[in-house]
Chains A and B, each alone.
Chain A
C-alpha cells in the first residue's frame, strides 16, 4: 500500500519546527506503524537525510515510551492501542497521515516526535507511593483484599504514563494520569494511611508543572491506550476535597 506522511520535524528544543512530506509507495499491511517509520528512516539514511526521531522501546504497548498524534488523535485511530501496537492494516491505500508530537507546555519537544515527560516522574515523586522500606513488610496474606478492590486497583495501576491523556486534553491536564496513581493506591489497604497527603501533594505538583485543570471533557479517556476511566478522576477529586477539609493545606505547598 501507498502511504503519504507529513511529519513534524524539529531539530531540538531551541529551534522551531515544520511539517515535512514523505511518500512510501510500498508498505506491507502487516507492518506495525513503527516498522513503517523504520523503513522510512532506513531510506532517509541511505539518502543522507536525518532520520525521524521518535521514542519507543518495548513495542508491546507496555513501557509507555512511544506516542505521537496521528491525524489529530493521540496514538492514532484504534482505541485502546499504543502506536507501537498499531498496524498498517487499519489504514487505507493512499492515505495521508499527519504525525505530530504531544503538544503541552509541560511536555517540551526534544526533537521531531519526542517530548520530555519528566514532569510525570515528579508527580509520582510527590507521594505516588506507599512509604514502606525494604524489610518491614508483613506476610503477603496478612491483610485480605477483596477481589473486586484488587481488580479495580489493577485497572488504575495499568497506566503506562505515555502522556496521551495530556496530549488529547484541550487544557493539557494531567488529571487522568495523576488520578490513576491516586486510585491505584487508594483502593488498597496499603495505600490508606497516606491517602490524604498523597492526593494533596500530587495534585499540587501537577499544577506546579504547568498542566491545566480538568474540566471534564473526557478526551483523555477516549485516547487512553490502557482504557483508564474517568471514574478515577472522580475518586481523585473526592480524596482531594476530603483531604483539603480534614487536613491543613500545608501539605499541598510541599510539592
Chain B
C-alpha cells in the first residue's frame, strides 16, 4: 500500500511507547558506521542533526544561509505550546491533543497529534536545560501566555523572540556536535535534487552558492527539514529565501505531496503599503491577548481612529465569537477581517486593514508591563510604518504565513520514498487543515529531537545498504538534471526579471487561492498558471553564470518550482470541494459565513503522485479515522 500510515495498534495513549518498543535499535558501536544527510538547520533539521550526532551517527547538515543559526525558525515570535499545566488551569496532554485535532478541523491523524501533545512536555525541559531564557515569574518559575484557539495558558515564550531562542538552543547543540566531529555543516549549499538508488533515497545534489560547484553527497538516509512553501504567494511572512525546491524536487523523484491546498493565512500582519513591497511582517498573534480588533461600524468611515467614538466601533471578533473573542483561531479571524474589508469597512489608505487596539490594555496594565510583553513588536511596527502603537492603534491585515500541507509521511515520518524522511513544516503531518498558534515550533522540535532519531534508527537497522559512490549513474543523472535546469535558466535571456514572474504568480495565488476560494476562480488560476510558466521559460532574464555567486540564478530555480507547485495547490483546492480550516470554499458556507465541512466525502488526506512533466498527477487518499475526538462542527462562538 503506497500510503500505509503505519499507525501503531492499541489505545492512543500507548501508541508511541509501543512503537518505540517495537522499533529495532542500532548497536551503539555501529552507529558511527551509518551516515545521514539532514537538509535544513531550522528547529526540525537543527534539532534532528544535533540529536543524531549525539547518538553517534555521521551527519552532514545543509542550509542555504551563511550559518545554521539563520534558518527561518528564528523569526517565530509568539511562543511554543506545551501541556505542562504549570498554571493549574486544567490543561493536560489530552486537552492539547483535543484542541489540536479540533483546531485542525478534523483533517489530521489522531495518532500523530497525540504523540505531539505527549512530547510537548519533554521539549520544554530540553530547551530549559540548553539555556533557553524563557520568560519567568518573580518566583523563578516559567511563565505562560495564551494563544489563539485555546482557553488555557500553555504557551511558553522568550519575549517576542521565542523562535530565535529555541533555534539558538538547537544551533548550539548542533555546533557542539560540529565541535565533536560528528556533524559536518554545509552552509550556503542548496539542495537541488534527490538521489534515489534501488528505490531508496541515498543522497542529494547540492550547489555551492559561492563557487557554483554542483556536487553529489551520499548517505544511508536523507532527512528533509526544509520548511514551508508559503512564498508561493510571493508576499508572505516567510523569509525571502524560503522555498519549496527541496520538497518539490523530491516530489518529482517519487515523494507524494499531501494536502497542498492547506495553507494558513495569518490574521495579524502589517498591511501592504505599495507595489515595491518585498515581504510582509507578522505581528505576533500573542498581541491578541491584550489587543482588541475593530473596524468602524459605518462603511467608508475615514476619520482617524481616535475620533471614532466607542459606539461607532465594531469589535467584530468579540461580537461574532463571544467565548473566544479576539483569540478566535487564525483561519476564522482572517476570514472575519476579510469580510469586514469586503464590506467597505477596512481602514488605512488601501482599505485593506483592521485596527488592533491596545488602548484598554495600556490603561489596565500600564505601559511598563505592556512594553515588557510586546516592546520589541511595538518597536518593529513603528520602524516599518512610522506610527507608534502606544498612541494609535496598529493596522493589520491577513497574509500568507504557514503551510500545513507538505510531503506525505507515515507515523514514522518517512515519505513514499524509503529512506527519505521529512520533518517540521516541510511535512504535512500534524496540523490538519489549520495550525494553532505556537504549535509549529512544538512540532518542529518534537520531530527533530524526539521522533526522527528513533524512527530513522529503526529504518537503518531494518535495511541493508549497498556501498555506493558518487560515480553511480544515479548521481550522474541527478547532476545532469540540475545542470540542465541551470543551463536552461541562463539561456533564456528574455526581458523580465525573476521577481517579475514571482510577483505575478503571487497575485494569481492570492486572488484565486487565498483566504477564500471557489471553483470558477480556481479554474481560472489553473488556466493562467501554466501560461505564466511558459512565459517564464520564454522570457525570463537571468544574467551571469553558474560558476559564481549568482543570486538571480538561485531565485530563478526556486520560482520555477513555485510555478509548478502553485498549479498543484490550485488543483488540490479545486478537488477538495468542502470548506475546512484554512481551506475555505465559498460554495460551502452557512448563511453567516461559517465553513461547512463535508466529512462524508473528504475525511481523508489527499496525496498527489508525480507522473512526469505535463501529466496530471495521480490522486491518492489516506482515509482518516477519529476514535477519540469525534468530528463536530468547529464552533468558537
A124 adjacent to B551 (CB under 8 Å)? no
Chain B residues within an 8 Å CB radius of A136: 129
Q: Is there an interface contact between B274 and A31, defined as CB atoms closer than 8 Å? A: yes
Q: Per a CB cutoff under 8 Å, which of B142, B176, B240 touches A141?
A: B142
Known contacts A60-B75, A81-B383, A147-B140; A32 and B278 CB within 8 A of each other: yes
10 pairs, A vs B, C-beta closer than 8 Å:
A42-B497, A129-B131, A129-B172, A131-B176, A133-B54, A144-B140, A157-B133, A161-B67, A161-B69, A184-B133
Check if B274 sits within 8 Å of A124, measured CB to CB: no
Among B11-19, B163-171, B288-296, the stretch in contact with A? B163-171
Told that A62-B75, A130-B172, A146-B140 touch, could you supply 6 new A-B pairs with CB distance under 8 A?
A12-B548, A114-B549, A121-B67, A134-B450, A138-B125, A144-B136
- Let me know if B277 and A35 touch, CB within 8 A: yes
A158, B161: Cβ atoms closer than 8 Å: yes
Considering only CB atoms, which chain B residue lies closest to A37 in the complex?
Answer: B278
The answer to the question of B519 belonging to the interface, with a C-beta cut-off of 8 Å to chain A, is: no
B116 within 8 A of A: no
- Give the complex CA separation of A59 and B51 in angstroms: 30
Shortest distance between the CB of B128 and any CB in chain A (Å): 4
Could you tell me the distance in whole angstroms from the C-beta of A158 to the nearest C-beta in chain B?
6
Among A44-52, A167-175, A214-222, A231-239, the stretch that binds chain B is A44-52
Q: Are A89 and B386 in contact (CB under 8 A)?
A: yes
Determine the residue in chain A with the shortest Cβ distance to B178: A125
Specify the chain B residue showing the minimal Cβ separation from A34. B278
Bound together, the chains give a CA A127 to CA B131 distance in angstroms of 13
Closest to B277 in A: A35
**In the complex the two chains form, what is the Cα distance from A37 to B247 in whole Å?**
30
Q: How far is the CA of A31 from the CA of B383 in the complex (A)?
A: 11
Which residues of B (477-501) have their CB < 8 Å from a CB of A? 495, 497, 499-500
CA distance A97 to B265 in the complex (A): 38
Contact between B185 and A50 (Cβ–Cβ < 8 Å)?
Answer: no
Write the nearest CB–CB distance from B57 to chain A, whole angstroms.
13
Inside 8 A of B127's CB, which chain A residues have their CB? 140
Q: How far is the CB of A8 from chain B (nearest CB, A)?
A: 15
Question: Which B-chain residue is minimally distant from A201 (CB atoms)?
Answer: B179
Residues on the A chain within 8 Å of B142, using CB: 140-141
Are B158 and A35 within 8 A (Cβ)? Answer: no
Q: Which 5 interchain pairs have the tightest Cβ spacing?
A: A144-B140, A129-B172, A137-B129, A137-B125, A154-B133
Instruction: Report chain B residues within 8 Å CB of A55.
Output: 66
In angstroms, Cα B124 to Cα A111, docked, is 41
- Pair B128/A137 contact, Cβ less than 8 Å: yes
How far does the Cβ of B547 sit from chain A's closest Cβ, in whole Å? 10
A-chain residues with CB within 8 Å of residue B239 when the two chains form the complex: 57-59, 63
Indicate whether A110 reaches chain B with its CB closer than 8 angstroms.
yes
Q: How far is the CB of B369 from chain A (nearest CB, A)?
A: 13
Binding site for B on A (CB under 8 A): 11-12, 28, 30-32, 34-35, 38-39, 41-42, 45-46, 48-51, 53, 55-65, 78, 80-81, 85-87, 89, 110-111, 114, 116-118, 120-121, 124-141, 144-147, 150, 153-154, 157-158, 160-161, 184-185, 188, 190-191
* Shortest beta-carbon distance from A37 to chain B in Å: 10
A118 cross-chain contacts in B, Cβ below 8 A: 66-67, 187
In the assembled complex, B517 has its CB within 8 A of some CB on chain A: no
Contact check, A190 vs B84: say whether CB atoms are below 8 A apart.
no
Q: Is B398 an interface residue (CB 8 A)?
A: no
Rounded to whole angstroms, the CA-CA distance of A60 and B381 in the bound complex is 10
The CA of A146 and the CA of B133, in the complex, are separated in Å by 11
Which residues of A sit under 8 angstroms from B281, Cβ to Cβ? 59-60
Q: Return chain B residues, CB-CB under 8 Å to A30.
A: 273-274, 386
Residues of B in contact with A, size category: 35 or more
Q: Are A188 and B276 in contact (CB under 8 A)?
A: no
Mask, B397-426, CB within 8 Å of A = 1, is 000000000000000000000000000000
Bound state CA distance, A87 and B384, in angstroms? 7
CA distance A190 to B172 in the complex (A): 14
Contact B124 A38 (CB under 8 A): no
Contact A134 B75 (CB under 8 A): no
A139 to chain B, nearest CB (A): 6
**Complex Cα distance A57/B124, Å?**
28
Task: List chain B residues, Cβ under 8 A from A133.
Answer: 51, 54
Nearest residue (CB) in B for A133 is B54
Q: CB-CB < 8 A to A53: which residues of B? A: 549, 551
- For A132, what are the chain B residues with a Cβ–Cβ distance below 8 Å? 126, 129-130, 173
> Contact at A145–B140, with CB atoms within 8 Å?
yes
Whether, in the assembled complex, B508 has its beta carbon less than 8 Å from a beta carbon of chain A, the answer is no
Contact across chains for A134 and B386 when beta carbons are under 8 A apart: no
Q: In whole Å, how far is B238's beta carbon from the nearest beta carbon of chain A?
A: 9
CA–CA, A31 and B278, complex, Å: 9
Do A134 and B449 form a contact, CB below 8 Å, given A62-B161, A129-B173, A161-B67?
yes
Q: Which residues of B contact A158 (CB under 8 A)?
A: 161, 164
CB distance from A56 to the nearest CB of B (A): 6
Contact pick for B130, options A58, A65, A80, A129, CB 8 Å: A129
B131/A184 in contact, CB under 8 A: yes
Chain A residues with Cβ below 8 Å from B86 are: 141
Contact between chains at A154 and B159 (CB < 8 Å): yes
A78 CA / B159 CA spacing, docked (Å): 23
Supposing A61-B380, A63-B75, A154-B158 touch, asked if A126 and B179 sit within 8 A by C-beta, the answer is: yes
- Rounded to whole Å, the gap between the CB of B134 and the closest CB of chain A is 7
**Is the C-beta of B137 less than 8 angstroms from some C-beta in chain A?**
yes
Contacts of B50 in A (CB 8 A): 134
Q: Chain B 133-145 against A: per-residue CB contact (8 Å), 1 yes, 0 no?
A: 1111111111000
The answer to whether A62 and B134 touch across the interface, beta carbons within 8 angstroms, is no
CB distance from B363 to the nearest CB of A (A): 24
User: Which of A46, A57, A144, A185 is B131 in contact with, Cβ under 8 Å?
Assistant: A185
Q: Is the CB of B84 within 8 A of A140?
A: yes
